[in-house]
Structure 1
């Protein structure tokens, strides 16, 4: 109190109330009179108490000081206090802090999954996620997750609730991969809640029995045939030259959409026929050789500045997504007519899938294909191994020969 409004000066002046005195401030007024600083002195139960209560400008009056002193005497006599106002304030502050802590704990117990998602998780993470991820996560929460487990207290979320979510989505014939992604979204929210001490842990999604999770094979099987690719490129060339060029680049160099969007002119080496891909999905920079069709495409383009995007979006900024022209053209050509399984539908990513498939069909070793495509592991490339039928046919013929002659004489040309 003293430190707040400067120390009082002068001698202590007694009041009409026994044990209460004050000092006056040398310059500051309270109303029309000098500001007063009150002190009490009393003895109770053999204990001498001397303490300053505060300034008149802080709300202290002689009447208030006297009443407070009586309370302090009573607390000291009853053994419920030390007789000092400062100690009482500390005790009240401690009680308030404990009450706030209890209220926070009670709030944690009552916080539902929806409350936590909307008021804690989303405001914290939404600034750091890509737009596509944000849309997908919000969609899954609004359409499925919040409806299934939104009213459950976040700390009580367990495996039974996750199974309920899985069953609900399964009955709606949602793809296993979509269900798995929904569970992954729940896992991220609960992990956040564990760190914030809203959930005791462990994360129920992480400990959920593997057998309880949906099984799926999300690999795309279909790719463009040579005739389909030619027909697609021909149609795109008449609709959008930029979409045509991006499609050509993906089909013949195996680039992902994001890799194409990130290309700058400094990445294009027309002299040596190389395209450099930086900050790829695998985190590594890789270099791709241009086939003749891609070399001719770049030769026909007017190069921009080194830091300019090769396929810019609006106002020269980086593209965020592929133009709808691609999907509309595929639809118009009827490539996906009657196709129900989304893994069999041709999309822009199918262009990259087509590149890998054609390479394997041409007898290029899987390891080489892996490096061209920028796969992080050979396992990702092995999904295309069935497209090298000649090697497997030769193996089958070798087995047949062994049955007839007793010896295996393989004639495998392409090895990987």
Structure 2
């Protein structure tokens, strides 16, 4: 900056005038302070008179720095003082941001962050389920609370309220899973830094294992009754029992999934990943009897003709089961016949016929044998086989003893 330095009446303080800019009636003045540090002359700028600097204020700052150098405490130069001030401002800013984040409520984060992400990344049905779980079961108890104020106690209240409404253990589990996922996302986004309260909550234990499966005779009666009511439903039920497919997997099959030569179905994007299902002669004949469409057309289309796959088995299935008396007198839902019973029946008969757990696992598309073992464990006929085999072994051994005792040596 051009111009001459002008000394002030305050030792160590001087200024230069701005060549054009004025501050009031005078030209604007830029103040600096001069001092010695470690035997060397130093000069540091403070600011303009238009920024409220005066010679007197500059001198006060110079005295402050000199006093700090004497005592060895505090900043000894303007650069140090400014660095400390910048750090303080940064700390204040971070504290404000943290306070703002800590005041973000569960409901606000759910609406602005979690659910939009869920809608982008997950299936529409999953999004709809999680949104409903929050709206119906979570919002009232924890929706208006900041993350830091939500404790295991509040999650237990959610559990109790759902249990009082007679909600299934699996539904309660889903609600806890959504809560846990929201907290995990909040931690990843830096909105919350504490522990996840769901980790301190006892989750309901589930026993969803289907005990019931259809005998061959029961299955044939069911198929005959379904055929009289709904051709589409009959074919879907037959395919489930003959290939072990879930209803959702059957509903999403297109004609491009069928390999007529190999006698297989390509099950794409299934619950546990894509796999190949093998068709029995009867299942293959059933598909042959249907009018084949374009490769991208669904094999089983909605009766209404609307786009999209069928969401669930029609009520006709339940009505037919009721007419046949398959659920008569049965109150335990694990014992009731549903469409999924067909997949369970497939697995049960497959294992009973082969006694091959690995084959059953792969046919069902299970990633581990844990899920498959329940079919093997619950095949009542296999348990009876074991008992009968043991009985036969003892009987044979007893006959041998009698025979040996009657022989004359």
Give the TM-score normalised by the residue count of structure 1: 0.71
CA contact (8 A) 1:19 1:41 kept: yes
**1:116-163 deviations in Å (ceiling 9; x for gaps):** 433443344442122222222222222222333445542354443333
Change (3 A) 1:363 1:116: same
Please state whether the residue corresponding to 2:366 is helix, strand or coil. coil
Gaps of 5+ in 1: 1-7, 25-29, 31-36, 54-61, 410-416
CA contact (8 A) 2:30 2:46 kept: yes
Q: Out of 114, 117, 120, which is 1:127 matched to?
A: 120
- CA-CA distance at 1:231 after TM superposition: 1.1
Q: What corresponds to 1:246 in structure 2?
A: 236
Q: What corresponds to 2:60 in structure 1?
A: 74
| Structure 1 position 106 matched with structure 2 position 102 | no
Q: What corresponds to 1:34 in structure 2?
A: none
Distance in 2 (CA, whole Å) between partners of 1:389 and 1:87 is: 82
**1:300-333 deviations in Å (ceiling 9; x for gaps):** 322423x5554467999653x425xx32212443
- CA-CA distance at 1:184 after TM superposition: 1.8
Distance in 2 (CA, whole Å) between partners of 1:50 and 1:380 is: 75
**1:264-310 deviations in Å (ceiling 9; x for gaps):** 433312233222324433335224123324334235322423x5554
CA contact (8 A) 1:109 1:198 kept: yes
CA contact (8 A) 1:398 1:408 kept: no
| Structure 1 position 268 matched with structure 2 position 258 | yes
Q: What corresponds to 1:183 in structure 2?
A: 176
| Structure 1 position 373 matched with structure 2 position 337 | no
Change (3 A) 1:38 1:358: farther
- CA-CA distance at 1:92 after TM superposition: 5.0
CA contact (8 A) 2:169 2:205 kept: yes
How many residue pairs get aligned? The number is 370
CA-based RMSD: 4.2
Change (3 A) 1:159 1:362: same
CA contact (8 A) 1:221 1:344 kept: yes
Give the TM-score normalised by the residue count of structure 2: 0.72
Gaps of 5+ in 2: 9-13, 22-26, 66-73, 401-409
Q: Out of 386, 394, 399, which is 1:395 matched to?
A: 386
Q: Out of 154, 163, 168, which is 1:170 matched to?
A: 163
Q: What corresponds to 2:275 in structure 1?
A: 285
Please state whether the residue corresponding to 1:19 is helix, strand or coil. strand
**1:236-257 deviations in Å (ceiling 9; x for gaps):** 12xxx4x554343223222223
Please show how residues 86-235 of structure 1 align to structure 2 within 5 Å. Answer: 93-206=86-199, 208=201, 212-223=202-213, 225-226=218-219, 227-235=221-229
Distance in 1 (CA, whole Å) between partners of 2:244 and 2:33 is: 91
Please state whether the residue corresponding to 2:3 is helix, strand or coil. strand
Change (3 A) 1:262 1:173: closer
Q: What corresponds to 2:68 in structure 1?
A: none
Please state whether the residue corresponding to 2:239 is helix, strand or coil. helix
Q: What corresponds to 2:11 in structure 1?
A: none
Q: Which moved more, 1:180-189 or 1:361-370?
A: 361-370
Change (3 A) 1:341 1:138: farther
Q: What corresponds to 1:297 in structure 2?
A: 287
